[in-house]
Every structure is written in structure tokens, then in C-alpha cells.
Amino acid sequence: MKKIKFLIGIFAFSFFISYFFWWGIFIPKDRVSNEKIFSIEKGQGLFEIGKNLKKEGLIKNEIFFDFYLIFIKKEKNLQAGKYYLSSMMNIPEIAQKIISGETAKIKVTIPEGSRVKEIEEKLGLKLPGDNLEGYLFPDTYYFPVGVSGEEVVKTMRENFEKKISPYKEEIERSGKTLQEIITMASLIEKEVKEKEDKEIVSGILWKRLKTGIPLQVDATITYLTGKKTTKITLEDLQIDSPYNTYKYKGLPPGPICNPGLESILAALYPKESEYWYYLSTPEGKTIFSKTLKEHNLVKAKYLK
């Protein structure tokens, strides 16, 4: 009888311990989320991480976290970084994030035609480096929380190289430098929106360059003035800068924005036409003209 009672006692104790650890490990601390960013610094070990999780109110007790990681033999696989964690997550879910290095990310979409200054304002960061304009590829990025300006530049430049790589040989065969192609693409990006219009405008601008006619691209003027309006004043046209394509012939010294792939390909594959002039209406429609007389009539009609 005593033996039976002892066995029952052992069974009851084992059941209690098992339930206790099951409750602590697999049942989240809260039913209502209090998601927050949890930081793990390099060099922090299992026990310190467990204490910090308890301190931040993400788990019931560090003993459950420590026991679970040791039990699955992953206590040395915890990775430093910043993580989005919630008290509605159980310990296996929390552990999996930290083991896999699934750090917290911020989603940032950089539109085509963004300038370096605009990217800095969007991210709230200073981007280090020279000659960045034109070479930070516009795309949707997932940056780690707390990302540095240096890391942003590295990621965006690598994306640029990846996107441009398939066309490197074509650029070489075109007889133009990468700088010339990207500079032209940046002008096209700011001037017109539709793919076919971009290709025609590319043909017009390369043709002007070849014959020594000033490009007269309004976007280069707004690049200098920083104005949001597309209206150019006579005073603006007098700005003495190599970026003023009304005053100086040839391409500007460098890109005026970061163009997307469509504009880059338009610069690389221009479409020949009889047109020498183009104008974008306030509604975004592009009207092409063969002569200056036609162009002036269009300007009088649409740019009142």
C-alpha cells in the first residue's frame, strides 16, 4: 500500500512538474499583445537573454526559456540583433526567431526618380559616400531596425549592380559610358512617365547631343532650384551651372536622380523618330513636335 502511495506521489509530482514546464514554455505570457523591439547584444549568453526577456515582460520566467534552449541543444545558437517580439508568442516561437536571426525589419519603398536628399529624408539618415546620385537603385527594401547610412548605401548599390549587370556588355557596345547612360536615364526619368515616351525622348536627346544642340531639359533646372513646380522662370534659366542644359551643351556632369530600370533601358535603347522636341502637359501627356514652330504652338496651348 505504501509502495502504491509512493508511486502515486511520484506520478503526481512528475505530472505537476511536466504541466508546470508545459504551461511555462508553450502557453504565452499574455493574451493581449505588447509587441516591442528586443535587443540582443553581441556576447550576451543564454542566461542573460532569458533574464532580459523576463524583465521586458515577454516571458513568464527565464527558467522556462533557459530549460527549453538547453533541452533542444540550441543554447549556443542565439544570434545578436533587434527582434520584434510579443508576449503573445510562446517560448518556442521566441526562440526560433532568435536562433534563425529573424531580426526586425522596416519596409521602405524608394520610388523611381528619388534624389539622394529625398532618400535621406525618408530614412532619417545621412548617406555617406561620393557620387551616389543615380546609383542607389529605387526599389522596396527591408532594412534592419537601426540600420546605418553606410549599410543602406551598400545594399542599394549592390542592388544597382545586380540590376544593371545583365546590360553591361550592351552598354560597352553602345559606345557610351555607364555614367552617360545613367545620367541620360535620370533626365528621362524626370521628364516623362510612359515607357514608349521614354524611348522616343531618349532618341531626341541623344540626337540633340550628337548634333550639338543644347538638351534644354527642364528637370535639370528644377534639380538646381529644388522647386517642386515644373514651371521654369527666365531667372532660373540664367543659373550658371553645368547642370543648366539650357545654358550649356552636352550632358550634365552627373545624374540628377536615381532612375528605375525602365528609364535606364530607354537610355540604352533609344527609339529613332522625326521628332526634335517634346512637351509634357500638366496632365502628364507627352506631345512630340518635328519643328520648333510646332513646339511653340504646343507650348502656347498647354503652358498658359
pLDDT on residue 19: 79
Cell numbers representing residue 225 in the block: 532650384
Query: How far is Cα 182 from Cα 267, in angstroms, rounded to an integer?
Result: 8
85 by Cβ neighbours in 10 Å (0-12 / 13-18 / 19+) ranks as buried
Neighbour count for residue 263 (Cβ, 10 Å)? 30
Query: How far is Cα 38 from Cα 56, in angstroms, rounded to an integer?
Result: 8
Closest CA to 271 of 198, 182, 211: 198
Domain ranges of the chain: 25-100, 105-211+250-272, 274-304
DSSP E strands, the chain: 36-40, 81-85, 105-109, 140-144, 277-280, 286-289
Cell numbers representing residue 42 in the block: 553581441
Q: Which CA distances in Å does 215 have to 175, 211, 212?
A: 20, 10, 9
**In sequence order, which residues have a C-beta less than 8 Å from that of residue 125 and are 6 or more positions away?**
147, 148, 149, 152
Cell numbers representing residue 109 in the block: 519603398
Do 132 and 278 touch, CB atoms closer than 8 A?
Answer: no
Cell numbers representing residue 120 in the block: 535621406
Query: How far is Cα 210 from Cα 169, in angstroms, rounded to an integer?
Result: 22
**In sequence order, which residues have a C-beta less than 8 Å from that of residue 9 and are 6 or more positions away?**
none
What global pTM score does this model have? 0.82
pLDDT on residue 2: 64
**Model confidence over 60-105: pLDDT tens digits?**
999 999 999 999 999 999 999 999 999 999 999 999 999 999 999 9
CATH superfamily of the domain spanning 25-100: Endolytic murein transglycosylase (3.30.1490.480)
Cell numbers representing residue 91 in the block: 517560448
Do 33 and 88 touch, CB atoms closer than 8 A?
Answer: yes
Q: Which CA distances in Å does 241 have to 236, 237, 249?
A: 11, 10, 11
Cell numbers representing residue 232 in the block: 521654369
> What is the C-alpha end-to-end distance of the chain, expressed in Å?
106
- One digit per residue, pLDDT tens: the chain, 304 residues? 666 665 666 766 676 777 788 899 999 999 887 889 999 999 999 999 999 999 999 999 999 999 999 999 999 999 999 999 999 999 999 999 999 999 999 999 999 999 999 999 999 999 999 899 999 999 999 999 989 999 999 999 999 999 999 999 999 999 999 999 999 999 999 999 999 999 999 999 999 999 999 999 999 999 999 887 767 888 989 999 999 999 999 999 999 999 999 999 999 999 999 999 999 887 778 999 999 999 989 888 877 6
